[in-house]
Structures are given as structure tokens and as C-alpha cells.
Structure 1
């Protein structure tokens, strides 16, 4: 634990996570979960996505034939990584009693856009992704680096971006009404 003062909000974060860790430690198998998110595109390219009580609208801009009714799926993917990394770092720091004033995460992703349209020999997958993390903290750079390293090692969306994973697909085709 750091001798740097931790604020009330960070104390609430730490208390909540300590309780979660205690529950999970009691039965690690109960900590496994499946989250279901669904999306539907009908007319145009607008995709309405739902997960539990949350909803999001995704679309492409007019240049791709969409209506710009919402951010693109790529925006949400990058936002998920940026948000997950920033929150994971802040979360771990609060749990460890290390004061972080701010965590900024910037993502830059390079693409071969021709591959999206099945042109050329490139892949539509990102070519390279760079994350820049800036932390404002009274803690020493060594302590902050340790927090960041540990947070990244346990961050689901950073790891999903970085590491290969099993992805299974299935298809069902139904006749139109």
C-alpha cells in the first residue's frame, strides 16, 4: 500500500473490488461467465445492439452507404480497448492504494482499407495497433509501471486485441416473411 493519500472514491472502488475478490476466491469456477450481446441490421447499415439493459446504435457514414446513425463498429471496438485499459489501470491502483489523478489512453490502429472490400492481398484485420498510456500520479514511475503491467496482463479487451483466441461461428438461414 502506498503512503500517498487515497481519496474517498478510490476507497469505495477498493472496497467493492475486495468484496468481489473474496466472493470469487471462495469458488473460482463460479467466476466464469458468458455475456450475450446481440445486434440486428434491417434496412440500410444501421445495427441496433442490445446487451441486458444497454442499447447502442452502430452505423457507417454515407461514404460507405450508411446513414451515420451512430458510431462505427470500429469506434466501439477501439473505445472498448481504451476504456477497458484506462479503467483496469485505475481499478488496480485503487485496490492497491496507489493514487492516480488521471489515466489517459490513446489508441492508433492502422488498416489496409482495400482488404475490407476484398481488394488486394492484405488482411482486413488491423495491421498494427499502438496504445499510448499516460498516468498522472504522485506515485513513483516504478510503482505506476508495475500497476500498468499488472493491469494489462489481466485486461480482457487488451488481451483480446493482443492474443489469438478461439472464435466459433454458426449460421442459420430463415426464409423471409
Structure 2
């Protein structure tokens, strides 16, 4: 039996098997993602706000410009004073894992909230970022909010006051 296999290979059997092996390796490549998230606008400036004014928020338009569903893995912010969520009104479909899905040509809302009474930030204008984690093509999209806080209640009234 072993001699029959060796004879098969020596007589050109590999030319029969090679196309099947090549076809199998081509089919095992990962699919190329064609969907990309487009966010508009990319930045928002709250201007100067008062510590006593409470949480401020803004929304960004998130559009799936591709041909495949985009599954939202999560939303991350650069600081605890900033929170964010995609689709706060619950309009998006959920996939089998319970994650929000933006269908092709569908638009969702990214809501970003900033708490001016959370902690002290240096005087003057500063920014915070929010990033959407997903299976979309390219880098994870990011938005930026700008703000300047007037500490009208006093720094000692912050949720996390500065240590002197």
C-alpha cells in the first residue's frame, strides 16, 4: 500500500492534488470589510460653561457608508468626566450577541456628555475624546469636545476636588 502511494506521487499525483490544496487555501482567507463609519461633525465646542450648570451634552451623526453591517463593540472616553453612548433612544437593531448594529446606509446618534463638576482641570480651554470601537474598516472613529469650565461653586465643591 505504501509503495502504491509513493508511486502515485512519483508519477505526477501531486499535480492532481495541488489545485485542490490551492483552492482550499484561497477560501480560508478572512473576508475584507467594506463598511466604514463616517462621523459628522468631528468636533464640538461647548465654549465656557459654569461648574454649577450641570452636565452638558451634544450629539454626533454616525453613518455606515458601506455594504456590510457595522457591529458596535463599545464606546470609550478619554476621561471619567465624559460619558458617551451610541443610539441612546434604542432605535438600532441588536445582533445575536446583543450588540448594536448599524446597517448599511443607516445613521445612528452618538451622544457625548461632559460633567463640569466632576474634577478640576487646569484653567483654560481643554478637550476630551470619545472613540467608537467596532468591526468597521480602518481606524476607530473619534470625536472631540472642547470646553472651558468656570469654577463658580469653588474647586472644593467638585465631586473629586484637587488635593492641596
TM-score normalized with structure 1 length = 0.24
RCO comparison, higher one (Cα < 8 Å, 6+): 2
Structure with greater helix share of residues: 1
Higher-strand-fraction structure: 2
- Rg larger in 1 or in 2? 2
